[in-house]
Structure 1
């Protein structure tokens, strides 16, 4: 089985679990234990969604947007109030 098939099977089982939890909640009410089961089922659903997003081949391969960087030099006045990191100030010498 492929990863896609396995994740689809897991998703189908989770859908069945949600339906069963809903029926069970109608029968016995929504006490603390039932809320805990519902919360655990919700966490499982979220975890499978994250896994589906992270699985290789599951997402459509989209190239990241390219950012053009101009070749023109930056305006030096942007850095007049800062020191060169690790090099010290321009007018001072290292000890």
Structure 2
């Protein structure tokens, strides 16, 4: 398994844990110290996995490269004064 797959699996497990803790809160109430600690620990795990996902190399959202605008205006002909027309020979010579 890749790191991405492992982190996704951990995230799914944390989602299941959060749902289970929610059901326990409904049954036992959320006011007790033990229940608040379980909820806080589950939330800390979720935050830690989120930080781990951000810190893991190559797992951050792929960043789109900045777009470069290319003008439709013709190029300045002085850029090409020292070059030959490819395949046509030099400007001052004639083909045989």
Unpaired runs of 5+ residues, structure 2, are 65-96
Deviations 1:49-79 (A, max 9, x none): 000000111114559xxxxxxxxxxxxxxxx
Bigger radius of gyration: 2
Q: Does 1:11 align with 2:11?
A: yes
- The aligned counterpart of 2:49 is 48
- The aligned counterpart of 1:38 is 39
TM-score scaled by structure 1?
A: 0.63
SS at the partner of 1:24? helix
Work out the CA distance in 1 between the residues paired with 2:60 and 2:42: 24
Runs of 4+ in 1 over 4 A off after TM superposition: none
Matches within 5 A, 1:14-33: 14-30=14-30, 31-33=32-34
- The aligned counterpart of 1:71 is none
Work out the CA distance in 2 between the residues paired with 1:34 and 1:61: 38
- Aligned residue pairs total 64
RMSD: 1.6
TM-score scaled by structure 2?
A: 0.62
Matches within 5 A, 1:40-79: 40-60=41-61, 62=63
Q: Report which structure shows greater RCO (CA 8 Å, sep ≥6).
A: 1
Unpaired runs of 5+ residues, structure 1, are 64-95
